[in-house]
């Protein structure tokens, strides 16, 4: 299981009730550490945003106009914290349903005194649909989503044609969808989906994957995988229209 397995998605499924939706995440219970609990208690009123019914004015939320990135499924938040700390001139929005992960991130935000990061603790597709204005994001990041290895579970993968179109509608022209996975078949699947998605340009010179971008922090999970000889594949697609 990778750090960002808690990435949400909703899609229609014929063999389920029409009122139910497939989700790409599973709500897992987890024990809270003292720091995570502190983060939730003290950080939620300050940094967790409610699910809105209309696009949010993030210039008002952050008190400025700045380049804005959204990460879906930030796991325990290590990468998102590092990116926010390294780029104080940018604003970051994280979405995660795993409560210990949300608590860990919030504890880090409080400890480091960051002001350029906000959090949603609900379904990312709902956040995109309801809270994010069209043509407003500079970047959307999806790092190490659950690949749902079994064929019968592929419908749960967040990367689908509908997801690509939704993300494109939220990115500015020139905005970037940056995905990363440690499972090569999923990288190939992502590439297959994105290669036929309208309105995107693959930034890889060979039309496949890009070298690991410097702005994506290396996680502990990734370092452990590298020691074991595991690969990581990064894909970057730019919105062109």
Q: Which residues are catalytic?
A: 146
As a whole number of angstroms, the distance between CA 73 and CA 87 comes to 20
State the DSSP string of the chain.
--TTTT---EE--TTS-TT--EES------PPPHHHHHIIIIIHHHHBPPPPSS---HHHHHTS---EEEEE--TTSHHHHHHHHH-TTSEEEEE---HHHHHHHHHHHHHHT--SEEEE-S-HHHHHHHTSPTT-EEEEEEES-----SGGGGGG-S-SHHHHHHHHHHEEEEEEEEEEES-HHHHHHHHHHHHTSTTEEE--TTSS-BPPPTTSPPPHHHHHHHHTT---EEEEEEE--
Strand partners, 137: 171
Q: Which residues are annotated as a binding site?
A: 71, 96, 123, 146, 150, 182, 219-222
Q: Please give the distance of CA 230 from its chain centroid, rounded to a whole number.
A: 22
Q: Binding site for substrate: residue ranges?
A: 150, 182, 219-222
Do 142 and 118 touch, CB atoms closer than 8 A? no
Pairing of strands 117-120, 171-181: unpaired
**Cα–Cα distance, 156 to 186 (Å, whole number):** 13
Cite the annotated binding site for S-adenosyl-L-methionine by residue number.
Answer: 71, 96, 123, 146
């Amino acid at each position: 299981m990778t750090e960002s397995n808690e990435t949400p998605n909703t899609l229609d499924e014929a063999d389920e009730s029409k009122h139910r939706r497939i989700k790409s995440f599973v709500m897992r219970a987890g024990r809270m550490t003292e720091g995570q609990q502190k983060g939730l208690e003290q950080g939620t009123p300050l940094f967790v945003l409610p699910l809105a019914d209309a696009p949010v004015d993030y210039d008002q939320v952050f008190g400025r106009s700045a380049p804005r990135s959204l990460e879906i499924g930030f796991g325990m938040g290590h990468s998102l914290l590092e990116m926010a700390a390294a780029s104080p001139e940018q604003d970051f929005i994280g979405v995660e349903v795993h409560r210990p992960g949300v608590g860990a991130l919030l504890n880090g935000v409080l400890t480091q005194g960051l002001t350029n990061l906000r959090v949603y603790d609900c379904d990312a597709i709902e956040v995109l649909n309801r809270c994010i204005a069209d043509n407003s994001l500079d970047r959307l990041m999806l790092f190490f989503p659950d690949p749902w290895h079994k064929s019968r579970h592929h419908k749960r993968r967040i990367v689908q044609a509908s997801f690509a179109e939704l993300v494109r509608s939220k990115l500015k022209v020139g905005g970037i969808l940056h995905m990363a996975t440690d499972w090569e078949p999923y990288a190939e699947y992502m590439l297959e989906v994105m290669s036929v998605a309208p309105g995107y340009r693959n930034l890889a010179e060979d039309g496949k994957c890009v070298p690991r971008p410097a702005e994506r922090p290396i996680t502990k999970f990734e370092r452990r995988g590298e020691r074991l000889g595991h690969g990581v594949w990064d894909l970057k697609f730019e919105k062109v229209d």
